[in-house]
């Protein structure tokens, strides 16, 4: 959620912090602030709204100093106002803290602090933690932070500075991501590697319950019980250019157009054409173990959940194994039935989604094997699962996921292919799926070449108040995903439904003002979806259809059609999602929405 960056070194901290926050603004953009230590106390500057509001303030009043912390906020406790913006000070004004997460017992702690004479200036749980650290402080910031953290419940990623220790930053995590950047005579802490990539590619990932103390002469990692920890230094593979817009108007548009390359990277090295199967060594499961599973549970949130639904169709069709797809936010609260013959697959772009992380921990506690499909190397989910596949889609900055979604579906298809070949799928059918997977990047390029056609559609329908998305079978989740994308970034109300379910309620909404988008390839249920199109037409609905190239039947019924290249029926969702992503993007732009930073949303949801 929130963006955290801290710095200790020889350079002026303010510019480094602001540049880092700019690269992380997708994690939170309700407010922003910095705290600088310069020998004359703690200097805090913060502002409500986008980072630009803070930048404007700093033009006239930039504090000097070579140690500091910075924060962009996604509001949880308290409205997005300047008093609620981070950093927050303790009662004495000596200690400043920035925080990502939620302190669940903040109310109880605050009540006790109020009884001891503390006064609070914000509505946040973070200020409560600052005051608590202040109470523990006796000439040692490191021990004060550790002492306070024993008292708190909930999730946190924090960075703390103190005017009494002007060369020190103390940071800690539990449930919210943090990493240490190791530079040349300078050290960083951040919630995302993008914040520090300009300065170093060497990072140390912190795990839950760990702290780091940064000083000018080095860093030290420990846990709350003072045990010193040796942690490996990892190298970030991608460079700064990959997190720049590269001439595109928005990150989302750039990431949509990156899909031929990102999908190629996801598939690279996994497809074994001669054997008609996929190499999935990262799962850390032998063929015998893969054959032993008699049930799969996929758990995820949002767009990743939609990818999981598509995975359910693919795995059940190919491998004939029953699959359940669970909202991660509900999974651990409903007493799920799991055992050692169940495989739990967790899907998360960031690898830090709090609900999904809790779900895999619950799965492991109940004896299931867990694997993760994540995009961020070194993320918490990637470290905690028994095995998994990295998507290798590259950094995704736009809040609305696009390229990661299709990489997730492709990864699920490869897992399904491996399991199916171990059971019942012939080598010929395996090769057929591999050929279709290999063709996808070029087919997506063909779709992207027709982006102006989608833009013209957006111009025609961008003033709609409601839009219905319909699909059948494996394309029903595509309808859900298309509707979600439109809601996320254009704020138009949209719903996705199985096309056959339309007549059980949603058909009441259809009139001459209702655009209805059908995902209607020529597949096994084609004749059925043609009937559904007829039902909409009979009620004067405005039909827009994604069809297989050369389809003339639906073209006679629809006001608009967009042709999709022919592919394997189970892979149609990957192609169909691309024009729907473009449509959402162009509609949002025409409506004047902030595409990369939609209201109330953040990229990595690290709170429950």
Q: Which residues are catalytic?
A: 2, 603
Q: Nearest 5°: CA angle at 557, between 556 and 559?
A: 95
Closest CA to 313 of 473, 503, 133: 473
Closest CA to 407 of 573, 562, 546: 573
Closest CA to 550 of 561, 560, 539: 561
CA–CA distance, 240 with 363 (Å, rounded to integer): 37
Give the Cβ contact number of residue 219 at 10 Å. Answer: 19
370's CB contacts (< 8 A; 6+ apart) are: 343, 344, 345, 346, 360, 363, 364, 384, 385, 386
501's CB contacts (< 8 A; 6+ apart) are: none
3 state SS of 156: strand
586's CB contacts (< 8 A; 6+ apart) are: 454, 455, 457, 458, 459, 462
CA–CA distance, 520 with 551 (Å, rounded to integer): 10
CA–CA distance, 347 with 454 (Å, rounded to integer): 29
Q: Nearest 5°: CA angle at 268, between 583 and 449?
A: 30
Find residue 297's DSSP bridge partners: 324, 344
446's CB contacts (< 8 A; 6+ apart) are: 565
Q: What share of the chain is helix, strand, coil (3-state, %, to 5)?
A: 40, 25, 35
Residues 149 and 174 sit within 8 Å (Cβ to Cβ): yes
Residue 525, token pair as written in the block: 């249920």
Q: 492-526 burial, b for 16+ CB within 10 Å, e for fewer?
A: bebbbbbbbebeeeebeebeeebbbbbbbbbbebb
CA–CA distance, 535 with 503 (Å, rounded to integer): 8
Give the CA count within 13 Å in the CB-facing half-sphere of 381. 34
Per the listing, tokens 């059908």 go with: 518
Residues 343 and 422 sit within 8 Å (Cβ to Cβ): no
Residue 577, token pair as written in the block: 């999602």
Residue 172, token pair as written in the block: 């800690």
């Amino acid at each position: 959620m929130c963006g955290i960056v801290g710095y200790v070194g020889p350079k002026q901290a303010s510019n480094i912090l602001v540049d880092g926050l700019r690269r992380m603004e997708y994690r939170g953009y309700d407010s922003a602030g910095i705290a600088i230590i310069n020998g004359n106390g703690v200097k805090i500057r913060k502002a409500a709204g986008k980072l630009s509001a803070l930048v404007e303030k700093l033009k006239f009043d930039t504090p000097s100093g070579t140690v500091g912390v910075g924060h962009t906020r996604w509001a949880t406790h308290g409205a997005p106002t300047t008093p609620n913006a981070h950093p927050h000070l303790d009662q004495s004004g000596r200690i400043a803290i920035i925080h990502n997460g939620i302190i669940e017992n903040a109310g109880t702690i605050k009540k006790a602090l109020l009884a001891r004479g503390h006064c609070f200036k914000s509505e946040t749980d973070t200020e409560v933690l600052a005051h608590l650290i202040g109470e523990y402080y006796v000439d040692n910031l490191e021990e004060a932070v550790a002492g306070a953290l024993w008292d708190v419940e909930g999730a946190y990623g924090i960075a703390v500075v103190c005017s009494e220790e002007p060369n020190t930053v103390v940071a800690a995590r539990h449930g919210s991501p943090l990493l240490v950047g190791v530079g040349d005579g300078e050290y960083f802490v951040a919630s995302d590697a993008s914040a520090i990539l300009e300065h170093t590619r060497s990072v140390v990932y912190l795990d839950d319950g760990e702290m780091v103390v940064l000083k000018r002469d080095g860093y030290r990692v420990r846990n709350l019980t003072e045990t010193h920890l040796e942690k490996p230094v990892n190298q970030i593979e991608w460079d700064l250019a990959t997190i720049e817009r590269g001439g595109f108007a928005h990150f989302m548009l750039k990431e949509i157009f990156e899909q031929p390359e990102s999908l190629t990277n996801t598939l690279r090295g996994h497809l074994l054409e001669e054997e008609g199967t996929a190499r999935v060594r990262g799962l850390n499961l032998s063929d015998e173990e893969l054959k032993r599973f008699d049930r799969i549970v996929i758990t995820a949130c949002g767009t990743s959940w939609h990818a999981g639904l598509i995975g359910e169709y693919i795995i059940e069709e190919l491998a004939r194994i029953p699959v359940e797809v669970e909202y991660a936010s509900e999974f651990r609260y409903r007493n799920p039935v799991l055992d050692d013959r169940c495989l739990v697959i967790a899907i998360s772009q960031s690898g830090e989604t709090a609900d999904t992380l809790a779900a895999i921990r619950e799965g492991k506690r109940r004896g299931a094997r867990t694997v993760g499909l994540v995009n961020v190397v070194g993320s918490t989910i990637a470290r905690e699962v028994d095995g998994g596949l990295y998507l290798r889609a590259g950094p995704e900055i736009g809040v609305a996921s696009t390229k990661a979604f299709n990489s997730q579906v492709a990864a699920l298809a490869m897992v399904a292919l491996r399991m199916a070949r171990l059971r019942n799928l012939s080598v010929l059918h395996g090769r057929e799926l591999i050929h279709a997977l290999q063709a996808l990047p070029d087919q997506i390029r063909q779709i992207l070449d027709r982006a102006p056609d989608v833009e013209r559609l957006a111009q025609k329908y961008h003033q709609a108040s409601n839009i219905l998305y319909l699909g059948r079978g494996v394309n029903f989740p595509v309808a859900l995903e298309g509707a979600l994308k439109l809601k996320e970034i254009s704020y138009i109300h949209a719903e996705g439904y199985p096309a056959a379910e339309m007549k059980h309620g949603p058909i009441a909404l259809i009139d001459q003002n209702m655009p209805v988008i059908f995902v209607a390839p020529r597949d096994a249920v084609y004749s059925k979806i043609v009937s559904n199109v007829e039902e909409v037409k009979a009620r004067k609905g405005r039909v827009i259809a994604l069809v297989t190239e050369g389809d003339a039947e639906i073209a006679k019924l629809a006001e608009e059609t967009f042709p999709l290249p022919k592919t394997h029926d189970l892979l149609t969702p990957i192609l169909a999602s691309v024009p729907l992503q473009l449509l959402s993007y162009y509609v949002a732009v025409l409506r004047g929405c902030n595409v990369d930073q939609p209201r109330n949303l953040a990229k990595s949801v690290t709170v429950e």
